[in-house]
Each structure stands twice: as structure tokens, then as C-alpha cells.
Structure 1
Amino acid sequence: MDKLKKNEKWFWSGVVLIELILFYSSSMTYKQQTSVPFLEKYMHSKPLSSSLSNIRFNYGGKEQSIANDGYYHFVEFFIRKGAHFGTYMILGVCLCLALYTYFQHHNLLSIFVPWMMTTGLAAFDEFHQGLTGGRTPSVTDVMLDSAGGITGIIIVAVVLYFVLKPKFRT
């Protein structure tokens, strides 16, 4: 566990780096960020189009489907939401590891505090996004980000508690 304390600055560096990337990203308009032109250029054959055409669901009060959005926008939706989830999962991992030595004797706090910080940072990022032209903040995205954060935190907690701690107890 001393290794975690020794590497704490690197975990905090990861948090800062991710936040800088998120701040920059939420400062961009949709037009600056869209991957649709790239997808149109390199995915002419529209892979998995027939399978994806059967998928429809509601996200943030809007139906998501190929019929509603078109193939490229629908694929971009999954890329963007996957990036949301994945980025906040990594942020949750970094926060959990950065804060571990402070809460190592309080299992609930070692999960709850990094999760609330991740959720708070997601809410701030959505607020910042709302200040950018052509972008709107989304509570649904905050919930997705929060789910990504707690997923990363639980992975870290399981590894630390069930894999690493038994090695240090013997």
C-alpha cells in the first residue's frame, strides 16, 4: 500500500490531465467536435447497418435510432457516449487511487468520496458545456458519467480489497 502513497502524485496528475481534456472538449462546439464527416468518409459500407437499424431507445428525452438520426449520427452517438462513460471511468480510477491512502480504513468513504467528486466534476463539465455555443447541458450525461465513475471506482476497490490486501495481510 506504500506504493499507492508513493504514486499518489501521478494519480492526481491523471485527474488534472483528464479534467483539462474535458474542459477543452466541453469548450468546443458540436460542429468542431463531430466525427460524422470522418465516419462518412471512411465507413461507406455502413457496417452493422442492418443490426443497428433494429435498435431504438430514449436518451435524454429523445429517441435514438437510425430512422430518427441517420446511420452516421447514430454511430457517432455511441462513440460520444462511450467516450463519456470511458473518460469518467478512468477519472474515477484516478480519483479512487489518489484518495485511497486518506480513506484506506473507511471502505465506504473510499468509494463514496471519489464517486461524488466524479459526479460533481461531471456536473461542472455539463454546466461549462452549456456556456458553449450550440451545446446544451444534459442531466442524462451527468448520470452516464457518474455510472462510468462508479464503475472504475468499484473495479479499483475490488482489486485493492480482494487481490492486493490479502497479499499484505500474510
Structure 2
Amino acid sequence: MDRLKRLEKWFWSGVVLIELVLFYSSSMTYKQQTSVPFLEKYIQGKPLRDSLSKIHFNYGGKEQSIANDGYYHFVEFFIRKGAHFGIYLILGVFLCLALYTYFKRNHFLQIFVPWMMTTGLAAFDEFHQGLTGGRTPSVSDVILDSMGGLTGALIVVIVLYFVIWRQRKSTKTSQV
């Protein structure tokens, strides 16, 4: 616990750095951000096309499929949504670690507060994205980001629970 308190400023620095990256990213137009030209250049032969062509689903009110979007845009969709989930998972981890000592006796708040902060930051980021030309804010993205933040907070609390449990167990064993 003391170690987490000593590292707290670094965890907050991680939060600020991630937010700066997100703010910069949501300031870019789709054309500035698209990875389709890169994918077209470096992924030759459209690997897994047959398997991917069987996948179709609705996301944000739009049918996502190779038939609807084309191979490279469909692959980019997964990359972009994976990045959404991943960056907010990392944000959830940093927020949970930064706030952990404040809620050390309440596991619910250790998860709930970072999760709600992550969700609020995701909503703000989508709002900011809506101010950028050629970009549309998406409630579906806020939900995806929120789930990433929740997953990150859950991972931290579970890992720290077992680390602390193991430390207590080894302390009891060494006292005997």
C-alpha cells in the first residue's frame, strides 16, 4: 500500500498523458487518422478474407461487414475499436492505481470511481470529436470505452487483492 502511495504521482502522470493523446487523436479528422492506405500497402492478398466475410453485425446503428465496408475498412474498424477499448483499459488501470489508496477499504469504490471517471472522460472525448470536421460522436464508442475502463479497474483490483492476500499469508507464515 505504501508503495502505491509513493507511485501515485506517476499514475496521475499516466492519466494526464493518456488524456493528452486522446485529446490530440479526437482533434484529427478521419482522413488524417485512417489506416486504410497503410493496410492496402502492407497487407497483400487480403488474409482471412473468407473467414472475415462471414462476420457481420450492427455497431452504432450501422451494419459492419466486408460486403458493406470493403475488406480494408472492415479490418480498420476492428483496429480502431480495439484501440478504443485498449486505451481506455489502460486509462482505467492508471485511474484505479492513482485512486487505490483513497478507497483502500472499499473494493466497490476502488472499481466504481475509476470506471465512472473513465466513462465521463470517454463521453467528453466523443463530444470533442463531434467538434472536429468529418467525425461523428458515438454513444456506442462511449459504451465500448466504458467497458475498457471497467475491465482495467477490475484487473487492478483483482491483481492487488491477490498480491495483498499473498503478502499477508507469507507474513503470517513467517511469524509462526
Distance in 2 of aligned mates of 1:37 and 1:168: 54
Aligned length: 170
Q: Percent identity?
A: 80
Matching residue of 1:138: 138
Aligned to 1:72: 72
Instruction: Kindly state the Cα deviation for residue 87 of structure 1 after the two structures are TM-superposed.
Output: 0.1
Mapped to 2, the partners of 1:66 and 1:164 lie a distance apart of: 47
Gap runs ≥5 in structure 1? none
Question: Aligned to 1:154, what secondary structure does the other structure show?
Answer: helix
Aligned equivalents of 1:164, 1:46: Cα separation in 2 = 48
Which letter does structure 1 place at the counterpart of 2:148?
A: G
Name the SS for the 2:124 alignment partner: helix
TM-score scaled to structure 1, two decimals? 0.98
Q: Which residue of 2 aligns with 1:151?
A: 151
Q: What corresponds to 1:81 in structure 2?
A: 81
Take 2:120 and 2:168, find their aligned partners in 1: how far apart are those partners?
33
Cα distance, 1:166 vs structure 2: 3.5
Distance 1:83 1:120 in 2: 18
Q: What is the aligned partner in structure 2 of residue 111 from structure 1?
A: 111
Q: SS in structure 2 opposite 1:137?
A: coil
SS in 2 for 1:57: strand
Which stretches in structure 2 are left out of the alignment for 5+ residues? 172-176
Give me the CA root mean square deviation: 0.9
TM-score w.r.t. length of structure 2: 0.95
Larger radius of gyration between Structure 1 and Structure 2: 2
How big is the shift at 1:165? Answer: 3.6
The alpha carbon displacement at 1:95 in A equals 0.1
* Deviation by residue 1:65-121 (Cα, 9 ceiling, x = unmatched): 000000000000000000000000000000000000100011111110000000000
- Partner residue in 2 for 1:53: 53
What amino acid does structure 1 have at the position aligned with 2:101?
T
User: How far apart are residue 164 of structure 1 and its match?
Assistant: 2.7
Give the structure 2 partner of residue 127 of structure 1: 127
